[in-house]
Amino acid sequence: GEDVEQSLFLSVREGDSSVINCTYTDSSSTYLYWYKQEPGAGLQLLTYIFSNMDMKQDQRLTVLLNKKDKHLSLRIADTQTGDSAIYFCAESKNSGNTPLVFGKGTRLSVIA
């Protein structure tokens, strides 16, 4: 099965909070990442969390990590139309030079 899973679509109203969820399978992952991809562009790192943390907050972004359930979430407060993008969850395998493992991405649509 997939190493990293996320739902494909999310639609929210402007000003509401968005919560994007992700599950991963490798309990030895040391870092977990959220990337944002705007239309026609590459992936931009939004934030990351080290596996010994439960929560990380950065302005409108809150990352929650439940290591027991291997569940990661990204909350965007006061969602704006500029937040419309694809959001990718990724995990870092703690072994050698292996690449990050990405989910398929969640397309967030913000309705004005």
Partner 1 sequence: DVKVTQSSRYLVKRTGEKVFLECVQDMDHENMFWYRQDPGLGLRLIYFSYDVKMKEKGDIPEGYSVSREKKERFSLILESASTNQTSMYLCASRWGHQETQYFGPGTRLLVL
Contact positions vs partner 1 (CB under 8 A): 8, 30-31, 33, 35, 40-45, 48, 88, 90, 92-100, 102-105
7 versus 17: smaller Cβ distance to partner 1 = 7
Tokens encoding 80: 């704006």
By DSSP bridging, strand 106-111 and strand 9-13 are parallel
State which residue, 82 or 99, has the beta carbon closest to partner 1. Answer: 99
To the nearest 10°, the Cα dihedral for 46, 77, 66, 71?
-70
Rounded Cα–Cα distance for residues 27 and 35 (Å): 20
Give least dist CB 6 to partner 1, A: 9
The least CB distance from residue 81 to partner 1, in Å, is: 22
Q: What is the DSSP letter of 98?
A: P
CB of 35 to partner 1, least distance (A): 8
Q: Which of residues 15 and 107 has its CB atom nearest to partner 1 in the complex?
A: 107
